[in-house]
């Protein structure tokens, strides 16, 4: 019996709530949610950099002379010892932006893989369309109603599924998780309850009873809400202390990642975590090693590095994936910024990742190699990256159903997961 059926059906929800409150064995099974019959539960943490990050200044092709010719004021200097503003050498051709030096140890220990020149084959340069396509994973098709992470949930029914199988640390449910399978969106764990002082419990009971009575989908959402609230209370995340000396940056993004680590460690059965970080739309005054992009990259990378450290050996079962809707023009624009482009760079991190390598074919930056004469060309479809993670990390047996209309073929997988 799939537990979701209990939650979705109006008539027997009371029984379900009653059970979760009175049957410790059921709860225990959820609390031990990281163990499943087939071994440890795998988790994906997907991070969306909204606004289109300039991948060419994140994973810098310093071996390309055209890179420096086309970006006179914003290029990241070639690696040079003693120059803190220079790119961090990865493989003699690519280097990391110096603001993400906290990723260097992950690269050195082969836990960080990069897929360059990747993204959506659609040529839209609209943020909204491109984000839509990346989240629905059906580039060019706007009518897809659900997101690919939700279709992953649909593709792999989990009889022991937790309410927290999919959680988005955002105010609203992102497109990527919208769909038939339920997911939880919250901005912070501690606020996720009825907040009315001494009367909280009494009032929560009142709301639960009201929402249990009705049959429309708003009421269904209410029932799920209270199941989630009740379960989180048991997990007692208020006592959370990061481990291994991890220090999350004190900004909204660092805080979101901290919440995700809390949920993973609380054993709530988290399989898909999502959060986002915005501000990457650097049309104007982007900066080079320092400045607007550098500051954002620092927030971004120190947050992820802290998460990695905090989770410690749990990273054996966790993969972190970063994505952004498209790249930016190879040539800097008239405002020392960059405009909407095409292919971009993605990061994949985890102890099970075959890291220390930049995957994907490099298309080059000579003018005849550019896409539409201006942008980094695409050599890896993002669906091949998503599908490899869904198949080889999350264990989906039916990745084709996650990517409708795409001819999926494991031979196109890059091999960053074994």
Tally the C-alpha atoms within 13 A of residue 410's C-alpha that lie toward its C-beta: 10
- Rule CB under 8 A: choose which of 140, 206, 312, 373 binds another protein: 206
- Rule CB under 8 A: choose which of 38, 142, 239, 411 binds another protein: 142
- Rule CB under 8 A: choose which of 25, 37, 81, 218 binds another protein: 218
Q: Residues 46 to 65: which contact another protein by CB under 8 A? A: 50-51
Among 186-194, 350-358, 359-367, 379-387, which window interacts with another protein (CB under 8 A)? 186-194
Q: Which tokens in the block code for residue 197?
A: 């002082």
Task: Give min distance, CB of 357 to another protein, in A.
Answer: 28
Q: In the 8-state DSSP scheme, what is residue 31?
A: H
Q: Residues 164 to 183: which contact another protein by CB under 8 A? A: 170-173, 178, 180
Task: Find all residues with CB under 8 Å of 173, minimum gap 6, and list them.
Answer: 183, 185
Q: Residues 258 to 297: which contact another protein by CB under 8 A? A: 277-279, 281, 283-285, 287, 290-292, 294-296
236 three-class SS: coil
Residue closer to another protein, measured from CB, 114 or 246: 246
Residue 256's nearest CA partner among 34, 55, 48 is 48
Q: Which tokens in the block code for residue 142?
A: 């706007």
Residue 224 binds another protein, judged by CB under 8 A: yes
Q: Distances in Å between the alpha carbon of 198 and those of 192, 195, 201, 229?
A: 16, 9, 7, 17
- Rule CB under 8 A: choose which of 157, 195, 366, 397 binds another protein: 195
Q: Which tokens in the block code for residue 414?
A: 């890059």
Q: In the 8-state DSSP scheme, what is residue 389?
A: I
- Rule CB under 8 A: choose which of 5, 15, 93, 373 binds another protein: 5
Residue 221 binds another protein, judged by CB under 8 A: yes
Residue closer to another protein, measured from CB, 146 or 310: 146
Residue 196 binds another protein, judged by CB under 8 A: yes
Q: Residues 233 to 252: which contact another protein by CB under 8 A? A: 250-252
Helices (H), 63-156: 65-70, 104-108, 127-136, 148-155
- Rule CB under 8 A: choose which of 207, 362, 371, 413 binds another protein: 207
Residue closer to another protein, measured from CB, 337 or 350: 337
- Rule CB under 8 A: choose which of 153, 184, 304, 376 binds another protein: 184
Judge residue 84's burial from the number of C-beta atoms within 10 Å of its C-beta, 0-12 exposed, 13-18 middle, 19 or more buried.
Answer: exposed
Residue 185 binds another protein, judged by CB under 8 A: yes
Residue 127 binds another protein, judged by CB under 8 A: yes
- Binding string to another protein for residues 86 to 125, with x set by CB under 8 A, is what? -------------x-----------------------x-x
Q: How far apart are CA 148 and CA 165, in angstroms?
A: 15
Give the number of residues written for the chain.
418
Residue 107's nearest CA partner among 280, 278, 291, 348 is 348
Among 88-96, 187-195, 260-268, 358-366, which window interacts with another protein (CB under 8 A)? 187-195
- Give the total of residues touching another protein (CB under 8 A): 82
Q: In the 8-state DSSP scheme, what is residue 375?
A: B
Q: How far apart are CA 363 and CA 119, in angstroms?
A: 13
Among 37-45, 74-82, 304-312, 334-342, which window interacts with another protein (CB under 8 A)? 334-342
Q: Distances in Å between the alpha carbon of 89 and those of 157, 286, 296, 321, 361?
A: 43, 22, 21, 22, 19
């Amino acid at each position: 019996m799939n537990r979701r059926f209990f939650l979705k059906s109006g008539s027997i929800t009371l029984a379900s709530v009653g059970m979760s409150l009175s049957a410790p064995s059921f709860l225990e099974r959820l609390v031990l949610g990281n163990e499943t019959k087939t071994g440890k539960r795998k988790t994906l943490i997907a991070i969306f950099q909204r606004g289109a990050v300039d991948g060419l200044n994140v994973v810098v092709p310093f071996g390309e002379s055209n890179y420096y010719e086309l970006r006179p004021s914003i290029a990241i200097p070639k690696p040079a010892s003693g120059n803190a503003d220079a790119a961090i050498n990865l493989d003699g051709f690519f280097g990391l932006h110096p603001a993400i030096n906290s990723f260097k140890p992950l690269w050195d220990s082969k836990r960080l893989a990069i897929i360059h020149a990747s993204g959506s084959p659609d040529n839209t340069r609209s943020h909204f369309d491109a984000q839509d396509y990346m989240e629905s994973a059906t580039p060019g098709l706007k009518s897809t109603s659900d997101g690919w992470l939700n279709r992953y949930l649909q593709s792999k029914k989990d009889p022991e599924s937790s309410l927290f199988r999919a959680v988005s640390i955002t105010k609203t449910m992102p497109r990527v998780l919208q769909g038939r399978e339920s997911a939880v969106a919250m901005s912070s764990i501690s606020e996720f309850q009825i907040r009315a002082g001494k009367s909280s419990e009494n009032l929560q009971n009142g709301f639960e009873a009201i929402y249990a009575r009705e049959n429309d989908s708003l009421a269904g959402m209410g029932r799920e809400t209270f199941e989630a609230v009740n379960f989180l209370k048991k997990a007692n995340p208020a006592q959370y202390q990061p481990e291994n000396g991890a220090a999350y940056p004190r900004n909204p993004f660092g805080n979101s990642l901290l919440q995700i680590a809390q949920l993973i460690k609380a054993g709530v059965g988290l399989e898909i975590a999502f959060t986002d970080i915005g501000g990457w739309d650097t049309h104007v005054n982007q900066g080079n090693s320092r400045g607007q992009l550098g500051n954002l990259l620092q927030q971004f990378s120190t947050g992820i590095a802290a998460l990695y450290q905090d989770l410690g050996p749990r990273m054996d079962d966790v993969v972190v994936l970063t994505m952004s809707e498209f790249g930016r023009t190879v040539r800097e624009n008239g405002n020392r910024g960059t405009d909407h482009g095409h292919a971009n760079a993605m990061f994949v991190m985890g102890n099970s990742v075959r890291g220390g390598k930049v995957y994907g074919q490099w298309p080059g930056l000579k003018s005849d190699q550019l896409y539409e004469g201006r942008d980094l060309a695409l050599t890896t479809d993002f669906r091949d990256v998503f599908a490899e993670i869904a198949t080889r990390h999350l264990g989906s047996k039916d990745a084709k159903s996650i990517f409708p209309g795409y001819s999926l073929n494991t031979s196109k997988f890059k091999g960053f997961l074994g």
